[in-house]
Every structure is written in structure tokens, then in C-alpha cells.
Amino acid sequence: MIPIEHNPVLRRFSGSLNGKEYAVEYEYSKEGEVVITHTYVHPDLRGHGIAGKLLEKISFWAEEEKKRIIPLCSYAVVFYQRNKSFQHLLSDKSDLSSQGVCQISKKR
């Protein structure tokens, strides 16, 4: 199991393995929906399902908080296209036919 912590102040779920970071970042829409803006996994950790685990974690959290999700990040769009079991969490504003956009965080 990979460690993933939620930091609501920074609006991100993140962790690290051997000093190599991974994270999913979000914002809130005016209506209070969770807008997933960016997913990042250190290149050395890619290909091990970490990004998927991040999206699962934020999805379970959103469900507990009774929040709807808008996947804006391109990886998040693909995740929800492939994982129909999470699609009930998506906002009516979500567009899974798009390819999403990468929103590089200005915090980095």
C-alpha cells in the first residue's frame, strides 16, 4: 500500500516513496464541486498504478463528503472513462468526451 495523505489547506492528496513525490491537486467550483486540476507521479514511480490510487483516494473522499467531481486534468478524465464504478460521483458539468487539460500547479 502506498502512503497518501490529504492536505485540505493545500487541496491535495499526496505522498512520497524514497523521496519521490506523487500528488493529485484540486480546487472547488463556485458550486462546491471538486475540480481535479493536476495529477503528478515522479517519473521513477510511473507505471505502478500510483496515479490510479490517487484518483481512487480523492474519489472515496469526495463520496464521503457528498461532493461531485469535475475531472479537468487529462489523467483524471481517462481514469473516469475507464472506471465506470466511480462515474456516479461526476458532476453534470463533467465532459468525459474531452481529453482534459493539464493544469500545472503554480505552487511548484
Query: Is the residue at 106 inside a domain?
Result: no
CATH number, domain of 68, equals: 3.40.630.30
pLDDT for the residue numbered 96: 87
The stretches in the chain having pLDDT less than 50 are 103-108
d(CA 94, CA 43): 28
Global pTM value: 0.89
Query: Is the residue at 97 inside a domain?
Result: no
How many folded domains does the chain comprise?
A: 1
Query: Is the residue at 107 inside a domain?
Result: no
Query: Is the residue at 18 inside a domain?
Result: yes
Choose among 17, 18, 35: nearest CA to 26. Answer: 35
Query: Is the residue at 104 inside a domain?
Result: no
Domain that holds residue 9: 5-89
